[in-house]
């Protein structure tokens, strides 16, 4: 009986796993591919530390977002609308919708490129197929089934990159210090910021505060505290997996492209160059993982977009409503236009991630203020340690943004 009692919490924990993994697939999206390939091919292993720093930031921030959802029973979008003035709420809402547009650009372009590499489809057809699959998964599947599918996608992506690392055989003695030792200059700041924006994604913060409601808990503080403990484990495990996959992307790009003096300026070129340098299997795995990343991340981004739009407008998040249905499509329009006008997809993917990074303070600061507000959070308000850590994270993000803007404007 004693053994059985020990197994019950584990069983409960396993049943709780899911929300954190939805967030993880969101920051293993095609935008990450572009930034990680750019970072690895141009700067070798030097920017691996950005992935580590971003993941540490992510664990703190996503835990706070989930705790806000658990404590209030409402998403971040709804909490902002209810606790900030109308002008401030409107401004914040506009910035996050623009970030959602940038996110959709990355997800649909990535899915389109993946289908092009794998099956030879034109980009417009690949993007359309990605949208149709995304809608099918959202409309026809129950929530927990979507979680299972997304976790399956994540497992496929991770397996593909594990095999690729074995194939390319990186220099472990060289890359190990780069995981934790910062190294940056004026030439790498733009890509470093893009990597940061690709990992700590604003829409994921909003999403986590909402999807946590898929887990049922009671109204007592004891019940909320219990579910919060499970959430922390779920988030930490999922974020570490995301760190491993994102690090693997940079490692593969550094070992194959930077190690052979190859400059890469598109995902298509990365796939084409990967085959002769690392073998056809590596190229095939690259395409398969990209397709699953595009589809999986487009599903989670659409879930976030719907919550953001309905939350800031004060409308119910009901799949039967016209607003819900139109919210799934509206942010996909810019990416479809980009594909139709045959713009430089790689540069746009990089730029979209910088947009996310620039928006981050407009998500982090409201989250910080809400989690410190005892009227909003009650006994779940942030303590000194958590609040200090989140404040430091926000300062780092804002400082990096100022450096990025200065470097861009001054052309250094």
pLDDT digits (tens, 9 = 90+) for 324-348: 778 777 777 776 777 777 666 667 7
pLDDT at 296: 84
DSSP symbol at 4? H
Burial class (CB in 10 A: 0-12, 13-18, 19+), 205: buried
Ranges of the chain whose pLDDT falls below 50:
1-8, 412
How many Å apart are CA 324 and CA 316, to the nearest integer?
Answer: 9
pLDDT at 233: 87
How many Å apart are CA 318 and CA 270, to the nearest integer?
Answer: 41
pLDDT at 10: 64
pLDDT at 8: 43
Q: Are 208 and 371 in contact (CB under 8 A)?
A: no
Q: What is the mean pLDDT of the chain?
A: 82
pLDDT at 198: 72
pLDDT at 6: 42
pLDDT at 68: 93
pLDDT at 4: 37
pLDDT digits (tens, 9 = 90+) for 351-388: 776 777 788 889 999 999 999 999 999 888 998 999 99
Q: What residue ranges define each of the domains in the chain, with the CATH number in brackets?
A: 65-410 (1.20.1740.10)
Q: What is the pTM of this model?
A: 0.84
In sequence order, the 6+-apart residues with CB closer than 8 A to the CB of 159 are none
pLDDT at 144: 59
pLDDT digits (tens, 9 = 90+) for 266-283: 777 777 767 777 778 888
Burial class (CB in 10 A: 0-12, 13-18, 19+), 334: middle
What is the DSSP annotation of 196-250?
HHHHS-HHHHHHHHHHGGGS---SSHHHHHHHHHHHHHHHHHHHHHHHHHHHHHH
């Amino acid at each position: 009986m004693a053994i059985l009692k020990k197994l019950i919490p584990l069983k409960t924990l396993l049943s709780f796993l899911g929300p954190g993994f939805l967030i993880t697939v969101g920051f293993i999206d095609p935008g990450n591919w572009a930034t990680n390939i750019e970072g690895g091919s141009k700067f070798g292993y030097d920017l691996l530390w950005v992935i580590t720093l971003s993941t540490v930031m992510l664990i703190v921030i996503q835990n706070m977002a989930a705790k806000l959802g658990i404590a209030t029973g409402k998403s971040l979008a709804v909490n902002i609308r209810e606790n900030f003035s109308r002008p401030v709420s409107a401004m914040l809402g506009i910035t996050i919708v623009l970030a959602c547009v940038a996110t959709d650009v990355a997800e649909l372009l990535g899915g389109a490129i993946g289908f092009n590499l794998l099956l030879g489809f034109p980009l417009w057809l690949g993007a359309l197929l990605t949208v149709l699959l995304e809608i099918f998964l959202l409309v026809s599947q129950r929530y927990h089934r979507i979680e299972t599918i997304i976790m399956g996608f994540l497992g496929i992506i991770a397996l593909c990159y594990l095999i690729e690392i074995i194939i390319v055989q990186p220099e472990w003695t060289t890359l190990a210090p780069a995981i934790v030792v910062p190294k940056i200059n004026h030439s790498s700041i733009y890509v470093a910021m893009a990597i940061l924006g690709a990992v700590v994604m604003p829409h994921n913060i909003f999403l986590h505060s909402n999807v946590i409601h898929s887990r049922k808990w009671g109204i007592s503080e004891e019940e909320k505290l219990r579910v919060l403990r499970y959430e922390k484990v779920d988030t930490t495990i999922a974020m570490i997996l995301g760190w491993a996959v994102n690090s693997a992307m940079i490692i593969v790009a550094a070992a194959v492209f930077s190690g052979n003096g190859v400059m890469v300026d598109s995902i298509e070129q990365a796939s084409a160059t990967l085959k002769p340098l690392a073998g056809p299997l590596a190229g095939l795995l690259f395409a398969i993982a990209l397709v699953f990343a595009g589809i999986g991340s487009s599903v989670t981004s659409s879930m976030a977009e719907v919550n953001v739009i309905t939350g800031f407008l004060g409308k119910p998040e009901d799949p039967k409503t016209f607003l819900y249905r139109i919210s799934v499509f509206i942010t996909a329009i810019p990416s479809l236009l980009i594909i139709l006008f045959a713009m430089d997809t790689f540069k746009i993917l990089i730029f979209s991630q910088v947009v996310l990074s620039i928006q981050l303070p407009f998500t982090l600061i409201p989250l910080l203020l809400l989690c410190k507000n005892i009227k909003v959070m009650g006994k779940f308000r942030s303590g000194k340690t958590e609040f200090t850590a989140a404040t430091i994270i926000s300062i780092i993000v804002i400082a990096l943004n100022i450096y990025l803007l200065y470097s861009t404007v001054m052309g250094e």
